[in-house]
Amino acid sequence: MKPPCLKASPSSAASERRVNGLYELADRARREKLPFLVVGGHAVILYHVPRFTRDIDLLIPESAATAWLEFLQKFRYRVYHQTEAFIQLEPFEPGTLPPVDLMLVDAGTWAKLEAKAVEREAGGDLRLPVPHVWHLIAMKLAAAQSIQRRKEASDWPDVLHLVRVCQIDLANPDFRSMVMQYGGKEALRRLEKEAS
């Protein structure tokens, strides 16, 4: 039997509203053959963890960054912040569309994440690609370790909920190794204490 988080997501009005900003972007991006994985809050929601999120977080290969920027300009987005690994965009008219954050990864990282990615039902006929739950947890653990991360960020609650909802075995040596790699001993201790 599949863990609950690996079954199809229920199509509910609440979940459809949460991913509403993704519908047109995802559909058009697929038609234009743009590579992406949904990460951040929307990915967590697609694993059956109810939460609020304001923006659309997409992980893309760095080689596709120019194509993505050209694509988002068609939706009247503009870049307001950019680093080597992130591009943050907002609509020209505030409130019309959600902000979009692009997380850029090298070809090797993209290949590993894409190989284990899964498609999740997002309501209606829309299916969205998201990282495997372990990869999503690794991203959340790494983000929680970042000194630039806002204190009110929901990385730890997301990790705890994903472990519970997806019924991840904390005794699994591969999972423990991954937690140690991205979160350290303290993260493993905290998971053992709070997620059981």
How far lies 38's CA from each of 12, 70, 165, in Å? Answer: 19, 19, 19
Residue 12 has, within 13 A of its CA and on its CB side, a CA count of: 10
123 vs 60: which has the higher pLDDT: 60
Domains of the chain: 11-131 (3.30.460.40), 132-196 (no CATH)
Residue 6 has pLDDT above 60, yes or no: no
Residue 196 has a pLDDT of: 74
At 175, is the pLDDT very low, low, confident or very high (cuts 50, 70, 90)? very high
At 11, is the pLDDT very low, low, confident or very high (cuts 50, 70, 90)? very low
Q: For all residues of the chain together, what is the average pLDDT?
A: 86
Q: SS3 for 137?
A: helix
Residue 22 has pLDDT above 90, yes or no: no
4-8, 16-20, 161-165 — most confident range: 161-165
Return the percentage of the chain with pLDDT > 70, whole number.
Answer: 86
Q: Shortest CA distance to 9 belongs to which of 127, 116, 161, 113?
A: 127
Residue 196 has, within 13 A of its CA and on its CB side, a CA count of: 9
At 126, is the pLDDT very low, low, confident or very high (cuts 50, 70, 90)? confident
Q: What is the mean pLDDT of residues 26-42?
A: 92
> What is the per-residue pLDDT across 145-167, written as a single tens digit (0 to 9) for each?
876 665 556 889 999 999 999 99
